[in-house]
Amino acid sequence: MARSKLTDTPVQLMEKEGAVLFSLVKGEQREFPVELDFVLDVTAGYVFEAVVVEAENVTDQTEAPTTLKSSGAQVVINVRIPVYTGLWFTATEYTLEQVVMHEGIYYKLMTETLTDSISPPNNDNWVVTNLATVYLQFMSTLSSTWAQSPQVSSPSYGFFELRVTEPANAVMTETWKPVRGMVEILFSPTDIVADP
């Protein structure tokens, strides 16, 4: 598999080649799904680590930096693993985002709580999913300690990487780094105005 430089950033996250670009407005709090094509079940004991390290941002930059900020901020990004509850059973209480299997298909609950689940999960309350997806959670404070805040026409950047390590009981514990690239932080007027 060919590897790309961290600064080669196409827009599409799910491309097989190249690096990714997560574009956020300063203060946004977002969750992004990442489907891992080499993992069958992310709930099977894999270890996930996602980080962003501050780039050497400068005032009025017109391109993404290609170097790290000396002693810059290092932020751990939470990786949410879906809760797989096993086979769907009638009259069982399920909560938002739980995953069940019914007739060989995985379903994820899209409503807050389903206490009276008498009909199978192939209805509007559920969506078809898989067990190869994790969710990256970028918090609103991601760039709050960066030396250079984004300006109206000049974003700030950090370098991103997701590491996946298989369970320790394997013959040889393998580690992959399937998603790498940059995080772009754009200027936000609401970030500079005091909250009401």
The tens digit of pLDDT for each residue in 113-139 reads 766 666 778 778 899 999 999 999 999
Residues of the chain with CATH 2.10.10: 84-129
pTM of this prediction? 0.84
46 pLDDT higher than 70? yes
Confidence check: pLDDT of 168 > 50: yes
The model's pLDDT over 1-15, given as tens digits with 9 standing for 90+, comes to 455 555 665 544 444
Q: Does residue 181 contact residue 9 with C-beta atoms inside 8 Å?
A: yes
Pick the CATH number of 84-129 from 1.20.120, 2.10.10, 1.20.1440, 1.10.3470: 2.10.10
* More confident site: 91 or 38: 38
Block residue for tokens 């751990």 = 76
Confidence category of residue 90, pLDDT binned at 50, 70, 90: confident
